[in-house]
């Protein structure tokens, strides 16, 4: 249903079809459009897909991460370790609860936190670490837990990009007490906006359900379906972070596509790796030894000797109808975090300054991918043979 071929190759395009449109229309026709039965169904379906005990749907990964920190009781005076190399929401949620984000550096190959970079910034004030699976490349959460558990430091996984990725042979989603997915269109599957907090702790799940719905003692959906009059109470100051049933209807269809989407992304990533000449010197994102990426973002690090600057390369690609993006941002370099003290972050600064995200989407054709490869070879001064 989408047009490929000529014209600009986008960096990402969600794979949406007639089934999603029909599912959304059915939700509208049902008369129940806010959080209701379809949200509950999506929560069960995602939990089953990733092997988590429970899922709590929310309006975005950002709001889910916020609630995760509230549930852990993180607040003013606490420090939370985050990678600077991440979408800025990872750091912002720490500020939402009044705590201090402490930036840690990342592994140069994966762009992820490591036990070493986390340990380097843990202090007696550290309450939690937000471990990001950057671009859908799994971080070794289990190893990071090794430096956290003995110090009573909690782990929250920012798995915004990582549904369908695997760590130590198991899907991301069940390795920690709190794992948060995003269903933004830039991610692997989408509900327009949306997210879900996966948890294996019933107490966390109950609190998350209450917090996302104004702190209500009983959900609106339960109240409506009860045969008896039920008066709700507001047990604490909560939020309105709910997903709608229209979004969940779309999500249920998208979830059925997840296995295909991940397989396609992995095969396109492998094809980039095969076709890009080693002489470009580009360092391409790859699976870590302990897991399987979903390649939500396919990034390439430019070698020092590359003939073009990073921005020069982005322009070179755009001039050829190819929309690429700068690499993953670094929060500590943004005005919002100017003046925030931090340890040296050399790997973060190198990756953010010298990498590009290449087009990769489900319906990308081999021809489109070959156009990207040819443009990169041209930029690197390599003649096609
Ligand atoms: C996209 C993203 C988010 C934010 O997700 P939303 O669902 O848009 O709130 C958070 N963290 C990371 C690492 C992301 O890539």
Q: Is the CB of 294 under 6 A from ligand 1?
A: no
Angstrom distances, CA of residue 249 to CA of 37, 82, 253, 254: 10, 33, 7, 9
Mean pLDDT, rounded, of the chain:
96
Task: State in Å: Cα 131 to ligand 1 middle.
Answer: 13
Q: If you average pLDDT over residues 29-50, what whole number do you get?
A: 97
Angstrom distances, CA of residue 121 to CA of 79, 86, 118, 147: 10, 17, 6, 11
Q: Is the CB of 354 under 6 A from ligand 1?
A: no
| DSSP secondary structure code for residue 330 in this structure | B
* pLDDT confidence of residue 1: 37
Q: Do 274 and 377 meet the contact criterion of CB atoms below 8 Å apart?
A: no
Q: If you average pLDDT over residues 273-301, what whole number do you get?
A: 97
Q: Is 187 a catalytic residue?
A: yes
Task: State in Å: Cα 195 to ligand 1 middle.
Answer: 9
Angstrom distances, CA of residue 372 to CA of 4, 199, 211: 14, 40, 45
Containing H/E element for 117? helix 115-119
- Is the pLDDT at 4 greater than 60? The verdict is no
* pLDDT confidence of residue 385: 60
Containing H/E element for 37? helix 37-50
Q: Where are the alpha helices (DSSP H) in 184-287?
A: 202-211, 220-225, 245-275
Atom number, ligand 1, closest to the C-alpha of residue 183:
7
- Is the pLDDT at 225 greater than 90? The verdict is no
Q: Is the CB of 60 under 6 A from ligand 1?
A: yes
pTM of the model: 0.96
Task: Please give the Cα distance from 239 to 254 (Å, whole number).
Answer: 27
Atom number, ligand 1, closest to the C-alpha of residue 161:
15
Tens digits of residue pLDDT in 227-260: 888 888 999 999 999 999 999 999 999 999 999 9
* pLDDT confidence of residue 5: 47
Atom number, ligand 1, closest to the C-alpha of residue 65:
10
Of the residues 38, 175, 184, 187, only one is catalytic, namely 187
- Rounded to whole angstroms, the maximal C-alpha distance in the chain is 76
* pLDDT confidence of residue 6: 58
Tokens encoding 75: 């607040």
Atom number, ligand 1, closest to the C-alpha of residue 60:
7
Task: Please give the Cα distance from 314 to 369 (Å, whole number).
Answer: 16
Question: Where does residue 189 rank: exposed (0-12), middle (13-18), buried (19+ CB within 10 A)?
Answer: buried
Place of tokens 């994966």: 110
Q: Is the CB of 182 under 6 A from ligand 1?
A: yes
Burial 220-256 (b: 16+ CB within 10 A, else e): ebeeeeeeeeeeeeeeeebbebbbbbbbbbbbbbbbe
Task: Please give the Cα distance from 372 to 368 (Å, whole number).
Answer: 7
Task: State in Å: Cα 61 to ligand 1 middle.
Answer: 5
């Amino acid at each position: 249903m989408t047009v490929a071929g000529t014209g600009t190759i986008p960096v990402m395009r969600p794979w949406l079809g007639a089934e999603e449109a029909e599912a959304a229309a059915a939700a509208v026709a049902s008369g129940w459009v806010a959080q209701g039965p379809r949200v509950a169904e999506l929560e069960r379906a995602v939990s089953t897909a990733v092997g988590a005990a429970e899922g709590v749907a929310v309006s975005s990964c950002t709001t889910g991460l916020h609630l995760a920190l509230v549930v852990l009781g993180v607040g003013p005076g606490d420090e939370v370790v985050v990678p600077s190399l991440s979408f800025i929401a990872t750091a912002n949620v720490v500020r939402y609860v009044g705590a201090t984000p402490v930036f840690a550096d990342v592994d140069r190959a994966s762009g992820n936190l490591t036990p070493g970079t986390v340990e380097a910034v843990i202090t007696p004030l550290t309450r939690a670490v937000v471990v990001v699976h950057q671009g859908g490349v799994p971080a070794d959460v289990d190893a990071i837990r090794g430096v956290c558990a003995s110090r009573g430091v909690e782990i929250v996984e920012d798995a915004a990009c990582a549904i369908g990725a695997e760590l130590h042979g198991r899907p991301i989603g069940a390795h920690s007490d709190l794992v948060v997915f995003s269903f933004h269109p830039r991610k692997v599957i989408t509900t327009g906006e949306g997210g879900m907090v996966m948890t294996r702790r019933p107490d966390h799940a109950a609190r998350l359900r209450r917090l996302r719905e104004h702190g209500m003692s009983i959900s609106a959906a339960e109240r409506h379906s009860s045969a008896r009059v039920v008066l709700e109470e507001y047990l604490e100051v909560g939020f309105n972070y709910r997903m709608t049933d229209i979004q969940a209807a779309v999500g249920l269809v998208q979830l059925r596509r997840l296995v295909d989407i991940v397989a396609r992304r992995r095969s396109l990533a492998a094809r980039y790796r095969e076709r890009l000449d080693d002489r470009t010197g580009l360092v391409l994102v790859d699976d870590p030894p302990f897991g399987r990426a979903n390649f939500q973002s396919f990034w390439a690090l430019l070698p020092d000797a590359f003939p073009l600057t990073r921005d020069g390369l982005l322009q070179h690609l755009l001039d050829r109808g190819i929309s690429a993006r700068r690499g993953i941002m670094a929060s500590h370099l943004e005005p919002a975090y100017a003046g925030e003290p931090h340890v040296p972050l050399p790997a973060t600064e190198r990756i953010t300054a010298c990498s590009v995200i290449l087009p990769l989407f489900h319906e990308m054709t081999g021809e489109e991918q070959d156009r990207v490869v040819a443009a990169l070879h041209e930029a690197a001064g390599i003649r096609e043979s």
